[in-house]
């Protein structure tokens, strides 16, 4: 028997003997994994499918949808399709569901909601055809090819409309995709604003946090421990409580304005709340511990004798710090900065309470589209965009720092 074969047998035997241990380890993790699939992964899946689902028109106009499935899309459909539409609308008029399909059609073709409603009223009173002439006489739009292209598209089970809208794209009736006009383009700039606020918060926490982490590292343990407590305590405090405090602090007749007036830095009270400055300040405050802790844990592992060695070799104090010490802190700065950036992208409470209309982030728009406009599709599509950006940066974090770097306290 050759040595290679024996080696393979041995490897297989080792693998086989490891299998029970693998199974035990996996079984311990299984309940949590199953739980996460039900309570976390499945809801995210529901969000993804809500971003492409397209039920309204199919539900209200089922016969029309079936009739349009055979339509060639080259010219206005013939009488059978109009007859199906008349039958659907007659029922919709009784059930009062025409507005539902009208709202959906209106997203892609402004004005369709009122056309649907008046057509439904007409169909409710009509009993016999020919329906084609009847619809076109009521509104010439029913004779236009574009109208039918849009109806056919919205009658499909899935749509790209919401995802395209969330990226400032639109689909013409003939199916071509183009950028929306500048005045209607809001979502890419919303994404840019969200990234920009997160970047400002990240820079703010690094600038404030880096010296803190350094001083905590080099002070005697008794002092360092107290400083660390001051960093950890806010981390434990409810985000809502801290945001509330900033609402009070930033008010026009609040404490910060009092201090500014008293010191003579300003002559009149500044608008701090409902501003970008207020939003970023409150967010920096909330995120600061998340940035400090990873930097601190890396700094703690760097031997202080290295700076001493650099100094004894003749390096000036500053260059000993920046050229010997600081480069070694980079993993901590990157880990802390990325955590803060990722978490800042998803902020909702703080911009909602401290920010003005121009400081609302993607999460706030998602909530608005649900609560005010009842537009679940667009809200979900915005959620998909936010999720994609977040997961991309989380992937970068895992690649650079690894999952075991996530810790607190």
State which of positions 221-280 bind another protein (CB under 8 A): 227, 229-234, 236-249, 251, 253-255, 258
Question: Which one of 31, 221, 264, 357 is in contact with another protein (CB under 8 A)?
Answer: 31
What is the distance between the alpha carbons of residues 288 and 279, in angstroms, rounded to a whole number?
A: 14
The window from 163-171, 185-193, 261-269, 362-370 that contacts another protein (CB under 8 A) reads 362-370
Question: Which one of 3, 4, 14, 28 is in contact with another protein (CB under 8 A)?
Answer: 28
Alpha helical stretches, state H, 219-272: 221-236, 239-250, 255-263
Please state the closest distance from residue 157 (CB atom) to another protein, in A.
Answer: 17
Pick the closest to residue 379 from 393, 392, 363, 394 (CA basis). 363
Sign of CA dihedral 163, 169, 173, 176: negative
Please state the closest distance from residue 281 (CB atom) to another protein, in A.
Answer: 9
Residue 374 makes contact with another protein by CB under 8 A:
no
Question: Which one of 280, 343, 378, 381 is in contact with another protein (CB under 8 A)?
Answer: 343
Please state the closest distance from residue 345 (CB atom) to another protein, in A.
Answer: 6
Q: Which is nearer to another protein, 47 or 117 (CB)?
A: 47
The window from 16-24, 55-63, 185-193, 295-303 that contacts another protein (CB under 8 A) reads 16-24
Whether 354 contacts 273, CB under 8 Å: yes
Question: Which one of 104, 113, 132, 285 is in contact with another protein (CB under 8 A)?
Answer: 285
Residue 293 makes contact with another protein by CB under 8 A:
no
The window from 77-85, 215-223, 261-269, 328-336 that contacts another protein (CB under 8 A) reads 215-223
Radius of gyration of the chain (CA): 31
Residue 204 makes contact with another protein by CB under 8 A:
no
Residue 25 makes contact with another protein by CB under 8 A:
yes
Residue 52, CA atoms < 13 Å, CB-side half-sphere: 9
Whether 64 contacts 155, CB under 8 Å: yes
Pick the closest to residue 344 from 301, 282, 397 (CA basis). 282
- What is residue 322's DSSP assignment? I
Those residues whose C-beta lies under 8 Å from the C-beta of residue 26, and which sit 6 or more positions away, are none
Please state the closest distance from residue 144 (CB atom) to another protein, in A.
Answer: 35
What is the distance between the alpha carbons of residues 39 and 226, in angstroms, rounded to a whole number?
A: 39
Cα separation values, 120 from 36, 184, 269, 286, Å:
46, 30, 57, 54
Residue 375 makes contact with another protein by CB under 8 A:
no
Q: Which is nearer to another protein, 80 or 234 (CB)?
A: 234
Please state the closest distance from residue 350 (CB atom) to another protein, in A.
Answer: 11
Structure tokens at 63: 């016969």
Site size for another protein, by CB under 8 A?
97
In the region spanning residues 33 to 52, those forming contacts with another protein, defined by CB under 8 A, are: 33, 35-36, 38-40, 42-47, 50
What is the distance between the alpha carbons of residues 345 and 201, in angstroms, rounded to a whole number?
A: 10
Structure tokens at 68: 């349009």
What is the distance between the alpha carbons of residues 250 and 270, in angstroms, rounded to a whole number?
A: 9
User: 3-class SS at 74?
Assistant: coil
Please state the closest distance from residue 295 (CB atom) to another protein, in A.
Answer: 13
The window from 55-63, 65-73, 173-181, 347-355 that contacts another protein (CB under 8 A) reads 347-355
What is the distance between the alpha carbons of residues 168 and 153, in angstroms, rounded to a whole number?
A: 19
Please state the closest distance from residue 404 (CB atom) to another protein, in A.
Answer: 7
Contact string 48-77 vs another protein (x = CB under 8 A):
--x---------------------------
């Amino acid at each position: 028997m050759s040595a290679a074969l024996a080696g393979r047998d041995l490897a297989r035997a080792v693998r086989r003997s490891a299998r029970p241990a693998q199974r035990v380890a996996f079984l311990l993790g299984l309940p949590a994994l199953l739980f996460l699939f039900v309570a976390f992964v499945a809801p995210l899946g529901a969000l993804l499918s809500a971003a492409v689902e397209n039920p309204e028109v199919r539900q209200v106009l089922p016969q029309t949808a079936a009739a349009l499935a055979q339509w060639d899309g080259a010219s206005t459909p013939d009488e059978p399709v109009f007859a199906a539409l008349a039958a659907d609308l007659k029922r919709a008029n009784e059930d009062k569901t025409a507005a539902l399909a009208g709202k959906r059609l209106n997203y892609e073709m402004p004005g369709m909601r009122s056309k649907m409603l008046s057509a439904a009223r007409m169909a409710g009173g009509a009993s016999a055809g020919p329906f084609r002439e009847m619809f076109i006489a009521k509104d010439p739009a029913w004779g236009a090819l574009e109208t039918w292209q849009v109806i056919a598209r919205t009658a499909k089970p899935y749509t790209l409309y919401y995802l395209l809208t969330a990226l400032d794209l639109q689909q013409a009736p003939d199916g071509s995709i183009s950028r929306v006009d500048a005045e209607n383009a809001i979502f890419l700039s919303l994404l840019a604003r969200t990234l920009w606020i997160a970047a400002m918060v990240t820079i703010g926490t690094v600038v404030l946090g880096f010296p803190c982490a350094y001083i905590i590292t080099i002070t005697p343990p008794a002092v360092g421990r107290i400083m660390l407590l001051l960093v950890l305590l806010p981390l434990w405090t409810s985000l809502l409580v801290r945001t509330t405090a900033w609402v009070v602090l930033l008010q026009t007749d609040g404490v910060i304005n009092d201090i500014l007036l008293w010191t003579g830095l300003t002559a009149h009270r500044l608008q701090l709340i409902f501003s970008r400055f207020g939003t970023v300040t409150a967010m920096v405050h909330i995120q600061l511990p998340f940035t400090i802790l990873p930097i601190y844990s890396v700094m703690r592992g760097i031997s202080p004798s290295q700076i001493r060695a650099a100094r004894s070799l003749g390096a000036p104090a500053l260059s000993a710090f920046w050229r010997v010490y600081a480069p070694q802190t980079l993993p901590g700065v990157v880990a802390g900065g990325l955590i803060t950036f990722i978490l800042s992208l998803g902020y909702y409470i703080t911009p909602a309470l401290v920010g003005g209309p121009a400081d609302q982030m993607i999460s706030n728009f998602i909530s608005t589209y649900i609560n005010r406009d009842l537009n679940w599709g667009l809200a979900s599509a915005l959620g998909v965009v936010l999720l994609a950006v977040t997961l991309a940066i989380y992937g970068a974090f895992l690649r650079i720092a690894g999952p075991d770097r996530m810790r607190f306290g």
